[in-house]
Amino acid sequence: MGKKIFKTVGPINNDDIDADITSHDTYEKGFPHMAFKRMRDKDPCAWIDENDGGKGFWAVTRYNDIREVNGLPKIFSSAQGIRLEEQSKEEFEARKTFQETDPPIHTRQRMMFHRGFTRKLVSTYEPLIREICNDILNDAVDLSEVDATKEIAKKLPMRMLGRVVGTPDEDAEWLVSRGDSMIANSDPEFTDFVIDKVDTDEYRFLPFRSPAGKEIYDYGEKQKKLRENNDMGDVMSMLLQPDKQGDTLSDLEFKNFFALMVAAGNDTTRYTMASSMHALANNPYIFDYLKSAPDDAPIWLSATEEFIRWASPTMHFRRTATEDYKLHNKKIKEGDKVAIWFTSGNYDERKFSNPFSFDLERENNQHIAFGQGGPHTCLGMWLARLEVRVAMQELLKRVSKIEQIGPEKYLRSNFIRGIKNLPVRLTSA
């Protein structure tokens, strides 16, 4: 197989060069790549006014600048929130996960959580992932015409997370729905409490300002009690054990981390898989090239990284400046919000050759879809990589053709980028 770079259908679906990047509505048309390209070229550290009462923020859009900001946690703090939403100190303290902390607090918590998501441990899950894929994909192929996001991409991550964490299989669908209500709280398809359309003030002390947070808190507490005197051999049991220093998670730390696993442990992997299937359905070359490759072929490692760069489901994280800082001759003042746009960085021509082309053999693919370059690199990145690779391998074994048979629909969110509906026809191999 010779190296070949080619363009596929996908990234430039919203070419509004002047798009309002703060509006959730903008992203229903897809990610506004041309607006971010304009900012990368003309104003890579741009001040953005917010129309929802927010105080505004700096938008950092170039790859190298994102890595710079992300690598300076003492100056650009996560400890005032990672979303653009304004929060009081009381709200923040009630809702924060280890994502909203800085070293050394973050380091302590991360080491405790990391026990359940090491690369070595995750590698042992491959047979289980293939087993779960069997049921999901066989059902989807039998149906032939399906919403690939709902029938494939949505099901695998939460079933897998449930097996790893230790929740019952029969609870997976409910957990997915609660997770959607929290992290997709700007899309009316997933919640009745749309963050920018209804008054959610009474839920401000719950994860993601969502009433689903209370349900997840209660569910997590029940699961915790089941393991207090009974090690069930799962990740949740592991996390409840003292670390090497004898430290344990507080009740609030555990509940907020459990809520984070339910929300983030499904959505980002789901939308990466949906984006991957979109690429397969719209470019026969990708399909044929990978279908002919055995599971252990090196091409699958590079292809998986390209699928992840291509999808870039987490669009940005917010930081807060703890002191004045100059970037591109702009003075970022102490207390200013700074949004680092990972998706923009992953399509920066200064870092990636032909970023709007899908390169199966892209060399040195140092994308930042997992927040690389700082202390908050995604805890579940090894599991996500494995799930995406295995799911695409198993899908291609079962089908001779994937066709998109209707327009895709995108999540209404300025935080998570995703194809929420992808109608396809699967022709059995």
* Containing structural domain, residue 271: 5-88+121-170+265-428
Whether 392 is covered by a domain: the verdict is: yes
**CATH label of the domain that carries residue 62:** 1.10.630.10
Contacts of 281 (CB under 8 A, 6+ apart): 148, 287, 402, 403, 404, 422, 424
Helix (H) or strand (E) holding 155: helix 155-165
Average confidence (pLDDT) over 60-77: 97
Residue 246 lies in a domain: no
Cβ-contact 110, 257 below 8 angstroms: no
* pLDDT value of residue 308: 97
> What separation in angstroms does the CA of 426 have from each of 145, 287, 408?
6, 12, 16
Q: What is the mean pLDDT of residues 155-179?
A: 86
What pLDDT, on a 0 to 100 scale, did the predictor assign at position 217?
Answer: 87
What is the enclosing helix (H) or strand (E) of 318?
A: strand 316-321
Q: Tell me the C-alpha distance between 224 and 136, whole Å.
A: 29
**Is pLDDT larger for residue 150 or for residue 213?**
150
Structure-model confidence comparison of residues 202 and 9, the more confident one: 202
Asked if omega into 104 is within 30° of 0 (cis), the reply is yes
1-48 residue pLDDT tens:
444 544 454 555 667 889 999 999 999 999 999 999 999 999 999 999
Question: In this structure, is residue 103 part of a structural domain?
Answer: no
Q: Which residues contact 26 (CB under 8 A, 6 or more apart)?
A: 14, 16, 19, 20, 32, 414
Separation of alpha carbons 151 and 132, rounded Å: 13
pLDDT value at 138 more than 70: yes
Tell me what pLDDT residue 14 has: 63
Q: Does a structural domain hold residue 338?
A: yes
SS3 363: coil
**pLDDT per residue over 338-385, tens digit each?**
999 999 999 999 999 999 989 998 988 999 999 999 998 998 999 999
Instruction: Please give the tally of structural domains in the chain.
Output: 1
The answer to whether residue 387 sits within a structural domain is yes
72 token code pair: 């300076």
In the chain, % of residues over pLDDT 70: 95
Q: 214 vs 12, 42, 86, 95, 255, CA distance in Å?
A: 38, 44, 21, 11, 10
Report pLDDT for 13. 64
Contacts of 2 (CB under 8 A, 6+ apart): none
Per-residue confidence band for 202, with pLDDT thresholds at 50, 70 and 90: confident
| Of 44 and 157, more confident | 44
Which of these, 397, 419, 393, 387, lies nearest to 156 by C-alpha position?
387
Q: Is residue 225 part of a domain?
A: no
pLDDT over 90 at 410, yes or no:
yes
245 lies in some domain: no
- pLDDT at residue 187, as a whole number: 82
User: What is the tens place of the pLDDT at every residue in 392-405?
Assistant: 999 999 999 999 99
**Whole-number percent of the chain with pLDDT over 90:** 55
Question: Residue 385 falls within a domain, yes or no?
Answer: yes
